[in-house]
Amino acid sequence: MDKEKLETKTVKHPPRKNVSITDPRGRLKSLSDHASTVEMDRNIPPQRYYRSGVEMIRMADMCMKDNDLEYAYILYVKFITIFVEKIRNHPLFHTVPLKDKEQNQQTLRKVIPKAEELKKQLLEQYQKEYEKYLEDMKERERIERERLKQEELERLREEEERKNKLAALAAAKAVKVAVNENAIALEENKIKKIPNVSPKPLVPLVSPASNTAAQTSKEKPNIDRSTKPSLLCDNFTLRDVILPTKLMHNFLMLAFNNTMNNKETCGILAGKLERNKLLVTHLLIPEQTGSPDSCVTHNEEDIFDYQDQHNLITLGWIHTHPTQTAFLSSVDLHTHCAYQLMMAEAIAIVCAPKYDETGFFILTPEYGLEFIANCRETGFHPHPNDSSLYMEAKHCKLDATAIIEVVDLRRK
């Protein structure tokens, strides 16, 4: 599928620092710095940036409804950075239709105060989290002190019991010795027939010697006061993408004729954000031209219009390999790069009916995404060590109960 989508170019910059939860303002600054670190790719038409901006705001609004304030703030700041600071430097900025510019300016007038208000909310949230952290620390220290106190009391009790047992054993031994000595003396008196011999007095009880070697006390665990939970600001966990199980079957049925004629078929995965999960609810089939190893889309405005009317965000794409296995070709890698730059969770599904295979893929975030974003080759071309450029999309979850709506926008 030779479809261009757009987002900001991946650039090499230092990852956001681990900011301690004890620094609310530092956390907010790190979040703002990360969000505003964007770079324009002059090879991408500016109209694509404007289209991407529409989806960014739609996604941010969904995050607000889902109470994901951090992600919404990042998207708002990126939008402001692109369309206030960056877009005018694009060499083809003058080609952007006036209507798109005016609509973008109207959106900016709404987004800027939203971002400022969200900034205040996040600072309040971070401050509350810090105060809660202090309370938890005090409670943990109190529990630790109580535990150590109980351990000391238990040690003293065990020491006292040990001493009492030793004293009882020593006393019993002393009594036994005294009784034995007295019995021997009486026996000797009988043999010697010595009259009026007073029995030898009992040996007084000897107190057991105190054990001067103190039992080694249990070593107190060290509490490292400098160890505090930190906010890893640059590493947001991928949210689950929920896919209806019927999606692949419905798509293959729709693509059957093309598959029999050895032509690829492609579609767009669209949906919504709900409870911090991305739900694929629609499969959109654009106007397209297929060949044995590629698929080119046309009239993409039909897709955009439908998504705008139904408030849908793009979550990835799907296509067939009529005669090959399920993998991402060099062209597929570049196509998917545009999707994943716009949304980290975006997936590429490859259906290979001949081999009864279905692959769910993403570019490797630590290597493949940046490599492909910086690759300027076009068409089919070799990449070094292709296997490390993409991986299985483990955040994809199939749901047999979910419903998929197929919208075929091809003009018959």
Dihedral sign (CA 148, 150, 154, 157) = positive
Specify the residue for token string 């071309």: 381
> pTM (2 decimals)?
0.62
Amino acid at 78: K
pLDDT score, position 233: 33
φ, ψ at 43 (rounded to 5°): -80, -15
Which residue from 357, 338, 358 is spatially nearest to 349, judged by alpha carbons? 358
Dihedral sign (CA 340, 343, 344, 350) = negative
Q: What's the token pair of residue 298? A: 């046309």
pLDDT score, position 41: 76
- Integer Cα distance of 204 and 181 in angstroms: 12
User: Is residue 87 within 8 Å of residue 108, measured between CB atoms?
Assistant: no
- Integer Cα distance of 192 and 28 in angstroms: 104
Q: What is the mean pLDDT of each run of 10 residues along the chain (412 residues)?
A: 41 48 90 86 84 92 92 94 92 92 95 96 93 91 91 88 83 73 65 52 42 41 37 59 96 95 96 93 95 90 92 95 94 91 92 95 92 86 81 95 94 71
Could you give the residue ranges of the DSSP H alpha helices within 295-398?
300-310, 330-342, 368-374
- Integer Cα distance of 152 and 66 in angstroms: 50
pLDDT score, position 18: 57
pLDDT score, position 98: 93
